[in-house]
Amino acid sequence: MPHMTEHTASYYAACARQAAEYPPLEHDLDADVCVVGGGLTGVNTALELAERGLSVVLLEARRIGWGASGRNGGQLIRGIGHDVSGFARHVGEDGVRYLQQAGIDSVALVAQRIAQYAIQCDLHWGFCELANTPAQYAAFSHELHALNAQGYPHETRLVSPERMHEIVASDQYAGGLVDMGSGHLHPLDLVQGEARAAHGLGVRIFEQSPVLRIEHGSTVTLHTARGKVRAHSLVLGCNAHLDELEPRLSGKVLPAGSYVVATEPLPKQVAQALIPQNMALCDQKVGLDYYRLTADRRLLFGGACHYSGRDPKDIGAYMRPKLLKVFPQLADVRLDYQWGGMIGITANRFPQVGRLSQHPNVFYAQGYSGHGLNVTHWTARLLAEAIASGHSRGLDVFAAVPHLTFPGGKALRSPLLALGMLWYRLREALG
């Protein structure tokens, strides 16, 4: 990715409604907490802290929502990510139940925030998981049973292969699982609306203010090019863009490229035929496809995660064959927008949340592995709880899960993970 300081030329940036510009930091400030990173993690942590009465400074190197928070597919889907039951040996059965419930409650938290602060972000309910194989469709029955046993409060139902055209006009799928408690929205409008809310509660927000150096101690001092912030606590919410600001954390997250295209606006009858119930849709492949309709009836189609560290020369040309495999009837439709961004991938696909053992007044949350729209809001609440009251049970549960540092340093992280993902794709093709 080129080092841009303004938003990428995405569909979201072109039609954002909540945008506001904040000044760069040009003087010295004191605060209870300094938050680094103006994405969903940082903005929501700042908002939660301000709601609790703490003074907060938020520093963003570029613009609010510049990274994955403002570029993603906009799919608001329950769950922490991958199956959390495998972490029982670290968090216990009670911890697993907590994480499962958090995956549901975090979606409700996003909806609550949107309503509380009247954020216009095109929230629409309805999501369908798409099975690529009969075996995946069979597994949906177990998922549905688990949701019912958990007391999931929203409508869920299986969609048989012969009824899939009621969900999506594609012959690619062996069935689906509908979840009316998940949905889709405009993510850049969401994060910028939340930043407006935080600013309204007194959070001092500074854009175009990359942190150059951190001085640790009982008071943390953060240096930018033209100012510094002294704070009792620090929150690092930079995710895939942490770089070497804190090497003890950056080595645990691999920045991986993900890509999205948006078509020209489709005629109403065409859009309704493609996705009759206007749901968010996502398949089960390793290099998954995810897509949905926008409020102005564009097809927004994403996926194709890259671990090489190199972007395609032409994202539209790269993504069009993937789109046409699902929707060959769109062969003559123009692509109006194409963009990419970096998401933070962890080795175990579980978010990393906690505090630095060497510096207990430094907190962090990162590595959502493509599931950050809801989980960022939940981890922000846990960080704010821990900072404001000194303890958060939820933070303890998340922090109990160990995380590997990718071997070989920065130069080898991407090639090693690319080889690993190639193995999984080969297994998928052979299975």
From first to last of its 431 residues, the chain has per-residue pLDDT tens of: 335 679 999 999 999 998 899 999 999 999 999 999 999 999 999 999 999 999 999 999 999 999 999 999 999 999 997 789 999 999 999 999 999 999 999 999 999 999 999 999 999 999 999 999 999 999 999 999 999 999 999 999 999 999 999 999 999 999 999 999 999 999 999 999 999 999 999 999 999 999 999 999 999 999 999 999 999 999 999 998 998 899 889 888 888 889 999 999 999 999 999 999 999 999 998 778 999 999 999 999 998 666 655 678 899 999 999 999 999 999 999 999 999 988 888 888 899 999 999 999 999 999 998 889 999 999 999 999 999 999 999 999 999 999 988 776 555 555 555 554 444 444 444 55
Q: How far apart, in whole angstroms, are the C-alpha atoms of residue 399 and residue 179?
A: 29
Residue 1 confidence (pLDDT): 36
pLDDT for res 427? 47
Place of tokens 């927004």: 300
pTM recorded for the entire structure: 0.93
The interaxial angle of helices 372-389 and 88-116, nearest 10 deg, is: 100
CA-closest candidate to residue 183, choices 375, 373, 378? 373
Provide the 10 A C-beta neighbour count for residue 120: 14
State residue 309's pLDDT score. Answer: 59
- Cβ atoms within 10 A of the Cβ of 343, count? 23
Q: How far apart are CA 310 and CA 308, in angstroms?
A: 5
Strands, E, within 133-249: which ranges?
A: 156-159, 176-184, 204-206, 213-215, 220-223, 228-236
Question: Which 3 state secondary structure label does DSSP give 324?
Answer: helix
Give the pLDDT confidence score for residue 286 in this predicted structure: 75
Predicted confidence at residue 308, as pLDDT, reads 58
Please give the Cα distance from 147 to 95 (Å, whole number).
Answer: 17
Residue-range domains of the chain with CATH:
1-121+186-251+348-400 (3.50.50.60), 124-184+254-345+409-431 (3.30.9.10)
